[in-house]
């Protein structure tokens, strides 16, 4: 059991939970993820570790209420217990030294980018681009500002920061030159277009993939992704991969495999409420 120590509503449908998980807090490194199981009937929900405090044993997760299980998770409050949290899972991010790195966070992906940018800031120049649909859904702007030499915020509708997609300032930075690496985490379509944007400039680009995850330990094969023409398991070989090698179209197709079932589960959940 893991107790929710604090709950913060960051934006409509986006929650931040600080959870008591000392074993994970002691070991986790930026880029790793965990699996949450709400109760004995619960689905396994993979979530990136967004922050942690090794001393107090607290781990922060940020999630979008997108389907039945994440909506159910969003109904929990501070003081409630989560049945199981396993982790840290996956490989830690590779943190270079002495580079200029552009971190791109799309929507809730900003919380996944944050711990990597924070670590990278210790030995690199960090430029961050944070994108969201609108002003209301921009998250962790202050935290990103703290770990960035420069921060650019974009919104799709122009209600805050620059109007447009994250790939627009990304292209401008690449045009100006001097960028050694790009780390982009957000919706798969954003990561695909971030990869297409950086490819002509030959700048190393890293993405954190979010395929369907079941066991998270390399046993079931649910998280298969194609990288460089080879099948990889995102949960143990990733979740981070070279963006220029990733078959994003296959990832998007596989993510849609259970869309009908997911929609049905969500509809039933909304009709019946939590069991
Ligand atoms: P969102 O739809 O609000 O998009 C965030 C930003 O991504 C946008 O503001 C835009 O700047 C950029 N973007 C979107 N489409 C783009 C395109 N075609 N080209 C260039 N840039 C584009 O994001 P959200 O609502 O937080 O997430 C949507 C989905 O993505 C959810 O299902 C979420 O679970 C998933 N997601 C996955 C990860 C991950 O693990 N890699 C991270 C974040 C979100
Ligand atoms: Fe089962 Fe990766 S989630 S092998």
Whether 225 lines ligand 2, by a CB cut-off of 6 Å, is: no
pLDDT at 117: 98
Q: How many CB atoms lie within 10 A of CB 15?
A: 21
Question: Residues 6 or more apart from 144 whose CB is under 8 A from it?
Answer: 103, 105, 110, 113, 114, 117, 128, 130, 151
User: From the CA of 40, how far away is ligand 1's center (Å)?
Assistant: 30
Q: Checking phi first, is residue 274 left (phi over 0); if not, alpha (psi -120 to 50) or beta?
A: beta
Determine contact, residues 211/251, Cβ cutoff 8 Å.
yes
Whether 107 lines ligand 1, by a CB cut-off of 6 Å, is: yes
Question: Residues 6 or more apart from 13 whose CB is under 8 A from it?
Answer: 64, 65, 66, 74
Domains of the chain with CATH codes: 2-89 (2.40.30.10), 93-208 (3.40.50.80), 209-275 (no CATH)
DSSP state of 92: P
User: Which residue has a Cα nearest atom 38 of ligand 1?
Assistant: 186
Determine contact, residues 178/99, Cβ cutoff 8 Å.
no
Q: The whole model's pTM is what? A: 0.94
Give residue for tokens 């991969």: 241
Give the pLDDT confidence of 212-267 residue by residue, as tens digits.
Answer: 999 999 999 999 999 999 999 999 999 999 999 999 999 999 888 778 877 787 78
User: From the CA of 133, how far away is ligand 1's center (Å)?
Assistant: 9
Whether 216 lines ligand 2, by a CB cut-off of 6 Å, is: yes
DSSP state of 122: T
pLDDT at 142: 97
User: From the CA of 1, how far away is ligand 1's center (Å)?
Assistant: 31
Low-confidence ranges of the chain (pLDDT < 70): 273-275
């Amino acid at each position: 059991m893991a107790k929710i120590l604090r709950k913060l509503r960051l934006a409509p449908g986006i929650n931040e939970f600080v959870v008591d998980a000392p074993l994970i807090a002691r070991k986790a490194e930026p880029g790793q993820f965990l699996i949450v199981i709400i109760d004995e009937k619960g689905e396994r929900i993979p979530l990136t570790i967004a922050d942690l405090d090794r001393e107090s044993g607290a781990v922060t997760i940020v999630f979008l209420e997108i389907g039945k299980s994440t909506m159910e998770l969003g109904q929990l409050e501070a003081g409630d217990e989560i049945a199981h949290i396993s982790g840290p899972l996956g490989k830690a991010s590779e943190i270079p030294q002495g580079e200029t790195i552009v971190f791109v966070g799309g929507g809730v992906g900003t919380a996944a980018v944050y711990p990597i940018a924070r670590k990278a800031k210790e030995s690199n120049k960090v430029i961050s681009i944070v994108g969201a649909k609108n002003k209301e859904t921009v998250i962790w702007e202050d935290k990103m500002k703290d770990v960035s030499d420069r921060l650019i915020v974009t919104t799709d509708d122009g209600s805050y920061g620059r109007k447009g997609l994250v790939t627009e300032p990304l292209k401008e930075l690449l045009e100006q030159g001097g960028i050694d690496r790009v780390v982009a985490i957000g919706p798969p379509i954003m990561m695909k277009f971030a990869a297409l944007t950086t490819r002509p400039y030959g700048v190393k680009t890293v993405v954190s993939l979010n395929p369907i995850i079941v066991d998270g330990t390399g046993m079931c094969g649910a998280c298969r992704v194609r990288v460089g023409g080879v099948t990889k398991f995102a949960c143990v070989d990733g979740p981070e991969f070279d963006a220029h090698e990733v078959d994003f179209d296959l990832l998007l197709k596989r993510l849609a495999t259970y869309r009908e079932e997911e929609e049905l589960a969500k509809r039933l959940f909304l009709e019946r409420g939590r069991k």
